[in-house]
Amino acid sequence: MRFLFKTDYEDDIRLFPHSGYIYSYGLLLAVLLLAPYVLSSYLMSQVVFVCIYATVGVGLLILTGFTGQASLGHAAFLAIGAYTAAYLQQFNVPFPVYFLAAGLLTGAVGALVGFPALRLQGIYLVIATISFAFIVEEILARWESVTHGNEGMRVKTMQLLGTTVSRDGPTFYYLCLAVLVLTIVGTLNLLRSPTGRAFVAIRDSETAARSMGINVALYKVKSFAISAAITGFAGVLFAHKLSFISPEMFTLQLSIEFIIVILIGGTFSLHGAVLGAIFLVMIDPFLTYLKDDMPGVIAGVAATLGAGTERAGHIQDAVAAFASANGLKGAIYGIIIVVFVLFEPLGLYGRWLKIKLFFQLFPLYKRATFKRQKIYVKSERNR
């Protein structure tokens, strides 16, 4: 176990606390840079989605994880970013300009949502953000002169610095990766600044934060704006990746998926957004694998256990029918959410920390280290 001796404040807020971080993250970055040369094009496209979802996850973490303001409306911010890009593209606006414009516009909308949200707490905030997302969805479907309504909009191939960036090519992947890395680094910097500390203070206790002289309203609006802007940036990439956008892509379902990302990853650290995005996006290839290969595997196991060829064939058919049943994905989503909330509230990153601590403290590890406190005195009603 390594002991870090911190002698001044700079040591405490360092991005890389010790050289191990630089090596491991450097290695990770090298692997990610080499990925397009190794992985198949289908997996690469999933990795691009991981980058986009992780970017949204980081944005959502700033709001939900660090400022404690739940939002089930982030699909709307994503939609605003995507539609801004698609709209500006029609006038031959260059990519960097509409990329920034989408972020700024989404940030402004986020701030606008933040103002009414100041008075709301907990469940009311969740419902308000859901309503906001519904209204945006409806506007997208009805404002046909700009959004083409339910017909959707075609997004042209990206032109960057005079070259064409195909949505399946490695350059687009590098662009998404760069956006993700910059977002993470920017957010880490934000979180160690006074603003980030104010966010965390508001999350932990609004009353305490206010009595420490933090302008709660200002920081909440800031948090909304930053979170929305990051989601807007991700929206531009999302639009380019899909090359076609329509209002029914940005439903409550998508907002819930974003919440699942941070819930599964862990809401207390930026690692959570990335891990959660990997988990959520990779469920699809995994389910396809289950659908294609699992029946055969199970039948094989049954046959070796002495079930007979005919019986094994029946089992194979039954499993195949089950695996291709409509709605299996939804059921698995549901189970995953419930299981994580019940048994792994700190998410995948929390599990990683637990495993790490287990080996660091071996044989002294105690489960209670990570136990959450239960509060039976409900204060939500008279906060």
| Shortest Å, Cβ 233 to other proteins | 25
* Smallest distance from other proteins to CB 115, Å: 9
Task: Supply the Cα-derived Rg of the chain in whole angstroms.
Answer: 23
Q: What is the closest distance, in whole angstroms, from the C-beta atom of residue 317 to other proteins in the complex?
A: 17
Query: Closest CB to other proteins among 71 and 84?
Result: 71
Task: Please name the amino acid found at residue 359.
Answer: F
The residue (of 116 and 296) whose beta carbon lies closer to other proteins is 116
Minimal distance in Å, beta carbon 116 to other proteins?
A: 5
Number of residues in the chain: 383
List contacts with other proteins (CB under 8 A).
64, 70, 116, 119-120, 122-124, 126-128, 130-132, 134-135, 138, 141-142, 207, 211, 252, 256, 259, 263, 325-331, 333-338, 341-342, 345, 372, 374-383
Q: Quick one: tokens of 343?
A: 């048994």
Give me the least distance between CB of 211 and other proteins, in Å please.
Answer: 7
Q: Which is nearer to other proteins, 233 or 257 (CB)?
A: 257
Any idea what the Cα angle at residue 123 is, between residues 117 and 129, rounded to 5°?
A: 45
- Kindly state the smallest distance separating residue 29's Cβ from other proteins, in Å: 32
Nearer to other proteins, 27 or 135 (CB): 135
Instruction: State which residue, 54 or 70, has the beta carbon closest to other proteins.
Output: 70
| Closer CB to other proteins, 103 or 276, in the complex | 276
Task: Output phi, psi for 153, to 5 deg.
Answer: -125, 140
- Nearest to residue 104, comparing CAs of 231, 289, 237, 278? 231
